[in-house]
Amino acid sequence: MVMAAKKPSKRRGPPPGKPAPGNPWPDFLRALREKHHLTQAEAAERVGVAARTWISWENSQGTPSRLAMNLLRAAFPKTKFPN
Q: Which long-range contacts (CB under 8 A, 24 or more apart) does 22-28 make?
A: 23/60, 23/63, 24/82, 25/57, 25/58, 25/60, 25/63, 25/64, 25/82, 26/57, 26/58, 26/59, 26/60, 28/81, 28/82
4 vs 34 pLDDT, higher one? 34
Does position 74 have pLDDT exceeding 60, yes or no? yes
In the chain, the domains with their CATH numbers are 25-75 (1.10.260.40)
Confidence band, pLDDT 50/70/90 cuts, at residue 83: confident
